[in-house]
Structures are given as structure tokens and as C-alpha cells.
Amino acid sequence: MVFSHIPKLCLAHTPTPIEHLPRLGDQLGTRNLWVKRDDCTGLGFGGNKTRKLEYLLAEALAAGADTVLTVGGLQSNHARQTAAAAARLGLNCELILEPVTGAPKSLYDHSGNVLLNKLFGATLTRAEPGQDGMQLMQQRAEALSQEGHSPYCIPVGGSNITGALGYVDCAREIADWQYQHDTEFDYIVLATGSAGTQAGLLAGSVLFDLRAKTKGFCVSRSSEDQLDLVLNLTRPLFDHLDLNPETLPGRALTEGRYVGQGYGIATEGMKHAVRVTAETEGLLLDPVYTGKAMHGLFDEYHNGTFGPDDKVLFLHTGGTPALFGYETELF
């Protein structure tokens, strides 16, 4: 399939900036550190899911959908951006939000993304501990169909072949920036969870001739389990775009040492990374994804995996509103 012919909406402020991080780099012993500001995509406080929604909701509208449903944790950034996109497009939105064991309680349950979801007019259903959010979404979609609605279900994180196309497009932006600045990145570093962002970057790297390896710092799984998840999405995405699968080996890296006790549970390294990045660059990370990925990046410089001459691009996938649910953890 020809990538440029795939239908998409215009929901994001793109291309997002790529900015040099000199003060943070000085602390890490490098002058070759940049950030791709996908926290600045604009929709409902921005984030990486907006790129995915440009393709997913184009598909939903083409199918005649009137209601969008998706699943995520209680402070899900994907759910928040889905609610914002649905509001912009005049679609009904229903969110199935799952509890996150070990997350802070005093603010987590009602501030940050939960507040924003309500402002966007979404209907929130809170799953009980042990309930399967995907199953609840399918049951709700069936009920809506019986009521005469046309529902469209989006998987966790928007991470399927359609959603991953958003990060094929992001790879094109990185390739354009490299050409304009006569710079070629060695690594693209990101937080990896539902795998669509990393899978899209891998496909886009082949399509647009990026030689950088993508290193995903896991937020919920071991290195091995996350790599399987990434490759299980990347392979059919390659098929979808008629890319040669032989170009994939060695490009995808995953690191699971920074998950801590589990998804959404704060770690000391994450807290340090969030504070240092804010104090040196005025750049706000989030406690669940980018904070843990930045902790991993710090260690890669400290242990010599990344050297001072390696050109490293940190992909900021957004999530800043979740900070407000973690105040008691950060200070």
C-alpha cells in the first residue's frame, strides 16, 4: 500500500519541533541530545496518541461511526486524547477506564486526565479490579449497536496497524529534519507500552531511510515480552506497507529494567529524571511513560551505552496532565 494515499484527518499540530537539550546534555556529558516534542501535538494538551487518532478516526468516519470507544488506565493519556478528538469531530465518546494497582490515591482518581475527560464530554465507565476492559468495551459496543448506534472500538493505546501509521508519519518528519540540518541520529529513545509508537517508527525508519535504532524503555513489561509485542505489530505493519521484513532485525531495542514495581507505579529514578529535566530545560515529563524512559536514558549515558558522540533523539510522547495525579509521589 502507498503510505501517502492512506486516509487521515488533520488533528495534530505537525511537524512537531525537534529541540536541542544543551543543559541536560551537559549533565550527561554530551552535546548531542535532542527531543522530539510530540507533547506539542496540540489536541487536548497533546501527546503521541493524536497522531494515531488521525488515522483511526479517519477510518471510523469512513465506516459511518457515531460513537468511539476505547480502553485505558484511569489516567490514560490515550483516553484523554480520544475524548478530545471525538469532541472536535462531534462524535460520542465512551471510555472504559481500568484501575491501576499501586498508583497514588489522593489525587489520582479525579484530577489530571480524569478531569479533562469529563470536560470533553466523554462518558466514563470505571472497570472493577479484575474486570477485562477490552471485554467491557466489546459488550458496550454490542449494546450500542442494538440501540441503533454505529460504534467504533479503538484498542488500548490506539496500537494496531491503523494507529501505528501515525508514527510512520513521524519518522518522515524526523527524516526531513535530518536532511534540513545535515544531522543523522544514531538512536531514537522512547517509552514503549502498547507498542504502536515504536512499531510505527520502525516501519517509518525503513520507508524513509532512517538508520537510527529505536530503543524503547518499557513501562509495564520485561524487555523480552515488550520486544515480542513490538515485533508482533511491526511485522504485519511491514506487510501492510509492502516493506521488506529482512530490514527489521537489529533495529528494535527494548529495555525493561526501569518499570519498577509495575505500570503507573512511581520509582525513585523516574522522580529524579522528571525533576532534573524540568530544572535544566523547563521540560515537563510524565510519571508513567517519559519519566521512566528518561531515567533509562540517564543510565545509558552513565554506563557508557550512549557515548558523547552518539546523536540521540528523545521522543517526548506527552502525558503531562498525569503529573497532577502524582503530586504526593513527586514531593
Q: Tell me: the pLDDT tens digits for 110-142? A: 889 999 999 999 999 999 998 999 999 999 999
Phi, psi angle pair for 162, to nearest 5°: -65, -50
What is the set of domains in the chain, with CATH numbers? Answer: 3-47+160-330 (3.40.50.1100), 49-157 (3.40.50.1100)
pLDDT tens digits, one per residue of 163-213: 999 999 999 999 999 999 999 999 999 999 999 999 999 999 999 999 999
Distance CA 229, CA 186 (A): 23
pLDDT exceeding 90 applies to what percent of the chain?
A: 91
Q: Is 194 a catalytic residue?
A: no
* pTM over cut 0.75: yes
Averaged pLDDT score across all residues of the chain? 96
What are the residues whose beta carbons fall under 8 Å from the beta carbon of 19, sequence distance 6 or more? 34, 35, 37
How many CB atoms are closer than 10 A to CB 261?
A: 10
Q: How confident is the model at residue 305 (pLDDT cuts 50, 70, 90)?
A: very high
CA 239 to chain centre: 22
Q: If pLDDT is split at 50, 70 and 90, which confidence band does 104 have?
A: confident
Residue 1: is its pLDDT beyond 90? no
Please list the residues that pair with 126 across neighbouring strands.
Answer: 97
Per-residue pLDDT of 203-248, as tens digits, reads 999 999 999 999 999 999 999 999 999 999 999 999 999 999 888 8
User: Which of the residues 76, 111, 194, 220 is marked catalytic?
Assistant: 76
